[in-house]
Structure 1
């Protein structure tokens, strides 16, 4: 059986870590998008997609 996902049962330190990551994700996305526009390499594009995915997942509380 699959365990149910309940973010309210997480320890306090993990909730604080998620909140800190959520605050820093948007500035990191902006910085990486500017970097991708200036130096468009495959690694930069892949990194930008991963960062955007993580930012959306944290914002929507999927992760």
Structure 2
């Protein structure tokens, strides 16, 4: 059986690092906007988007 390589973030293409930085900059404002929108017009899609944004913000905060 073949051994799987360990994940090394330094082997990723440079555009993934840039995309990560852009997402980190915009995730908090998007989350706040989505929270306000969900409070005013709560729909299922808004709740899902808010949960996704909160998950992404927590992911980037932990890393």
Residue 10 of structure 1, aligned match among 9, 12, 26 = 12
The whole-number CA distance in structure 1 between the counterparts of 2:57 and 2:25 is: 10
Map residues 1-63 of structure 1 onto 2, 5 A cutoff: 1-61=3-63
The whole-number CA distance in structure 1 between the counterparts of 2:33 and 2:18 is: 23
Q: Look at both structures and tell me which one has the larger radius of gyration over its CA atoms.
A: 2
- Please list every run of at least 4 consecutive aligned residues from structure 1 whose deviation after the TM superposition is greater than 4 angstroms: none
Q: How many residues align?
A: 61
TM norm structure 2: 0.79
> Structure 1 stretch 1-10 or stretch 21-30: which is displaced more?
1-10
TM norm structure 1: 0.79
Structure 1 residues without counterparts, runs of 5 or longer? none
Distance verdict in 2 for CA 1:52–1:2, change over 3 Å: farther
